[in-house]
Amino acid sequence: MAGPDRASDIDATPFWGLGDRISQPRRPWWRGVRGALGAALLVAALLVAAVALRALQPPAPPAPPPPQTLGALTLCPDTPGSRCDLLAEARARIHGKLSAVAALSPRLAWAVGRRTLPLGRYGALIERWDGARWRVVTGAQPPPNRVIGEHSELTAVAASSPRDVWAAGTYRRGSDYYLGDVPFFEHWDGARWRLVSAPRGLMADGTYITGLSARTPRDAWAVGYADEDNQHGFVLHWDGQAWSEVASGAFPTGDHAQMNGVAALSARDVWAVGVDDNPDNGQEEGLILHWDGRAWAKVEAPPGGWAGGNSDNYLTCVAALSARDVWAFGPNIVAHWDGDAWTRVDDVTLDKISSTMTKAGRTIVVFTYGQITTWDGNSWSAFPAAIDDNASLAGSGASGARDVWAVGNVDATIGEGPDRHDVEAPLIIHDDGRSWRVVPNGLP
């Protein structure tokens, strides 16, 4: 049965142009206006409520101050929790320190040191820079001590290519705290780290590797000293097959004898520095040795000695730019080789040098506990390195003048009451040619 005819109340209009005609009832015009006014009033009420609620909330704390720049070094504001707060870094991360760094390019660098483990132990630490961040890499750890557990530390690193990286350090073989350390080497072949044996004659307790220089996969040098009854410095050479001790009567053998740094320019041009006893008074005396491809020989000191009358008279590191441009450093000592003789440089003061330096093109950077000093090929310049009162730098490396790294550690005291104790955290800073900045270390 057909319903009532209500065609007069129906408006048939096309819907979205689909061809179908859908019938909808007419709506009075004033209903649409009333709905729009209601929606507008609701939005206005919500805005007023939000403003009132925000007014009742306490103001947000001010943002931490940005890092400040002193010379070319970025300082960190003393604001707990800020990204530059080094003490917060120490509290937040596993404790340890870095001793040396080697840079191959802006996208590849290696740093070594030690990390603190439970129960007073510590283990070797290796970190790699990939251009964006530092990451911890698993190394070939030496066997743990059966009595006291793992005690190993890496103190030197050098690289000739991405597939030829050397690291050296010591591990605790005996139970005596002072005479239980023996040396070990690790080598990176581009895929993994593996242990490499040190010469058998150097496996006595109290033997340390202090410096490395890698020129090619078949030509690398290491220096160090044996701290035993007959203390002496030594030089080791890698020929592509094994490390061997090089015999020479030029090596130091006195009570203060040790070798501290080495730099290789070619197979016939290698420099090493350290300290020996003065035969006249028995006091420590700076020592420089040179390898000419056949033998090591002691090089004559400048007139007046290395320190020029200073009480500290020993050499800690060496940088070789060319056969006629070599630099050696120690506490209050700067010396230069011009191809003919060594001379003291008296127009720059390096008090309490932290046994670290690097070369970057024509630029030499020397880190001390109180300042950073640079040589640009013509003159020296220095500025304060006040990173933090509790921070110190121990090693440096560079792939170029705009890619310079320095590593060390920052000390802090954490805990309260009987749980209060001192800790150390790895510290890494970087210079991109414009400023020095603190870079987070790779520990979790």
Q: What is the four-CA torsion angle of 265, 267, 273, 279, rounded to 10 degrees?
A: -140
* Beta bridge mates, 359: 364
Instruction: Enter the CATH code of domain 68-438.
Output: 2.120.10.70
pLDDT by 10s per residue, the chain, length 444: 444 444 434 343 333 333 343 344 455 544 554 555 566 666 666 666 665 555 555 555 544 444 433 333 344 444 444 444 444 544 445 578 999 999 999 999 999 999 887 767 788 999 999 999 999 998 887 766 655 557 889 999 999 999 999 999 998 876 655 557 889 999 999 999 999 999 988 877 788 999 999 999 999 999 999 886 668 889 999 999 999 999 888 887 777 788 999 999 999 999 999 988 777 776 778 899 999 999 999 998 887 676 555 556 788 899 999 999 999 988 778 889 999 999 988 777 676 666 678 888 778 888 876 678 888 888 888 776 556 667 778 889 999 989 999 898 887 676 677 767 677 888 888 888 887 888 888 777
Tokens of 294: 């056949």
350-386 per-residue burial string, b: 16 or more CB within 10 A, e: under 16: beebbbbbbbbeebbbbbbeebbbbbeeeebebeebe
pLDDT of residue 11: 41
Under DSSP, the state recorded for 145 is: B
Q: What does the pLDDT read at residue 253?
A: 79
**Which two structure tokens, joined as six digits, stand for 195?**
């242990």
Among 198, 199, 345, 219, smallest CA distance to 291 is for 219
Q: Is the dihedral of CA 81, 82, 85, 89 positive or negative?
A: positive
With a CB cutoff of 8 Å and minimum separation 6, the contacts of 114 are 96, 97, 99, 122, 123, 124, 125, 152, 153, 154
Q: How far does CA 25 lie from the centroid of its chain?
A: 78
Q: What pLDDT was estimated at residue 22?
A: 38
Q: Rounded to whole angstroms, how far apart are CA atoms 85 and 271?
A: 40
Whether 251 contacts 223, CB under 8 Å? no
CB 389 within 8 A of CB 351: no
pTM: 0.78
* DSSP state letter for 149: B
Q: What is the pLDDT of residue 369?
A: 67
DSSP H/E element including 31: helix 29-56
Report the chain's C-alpha Rg in angstroms.
33
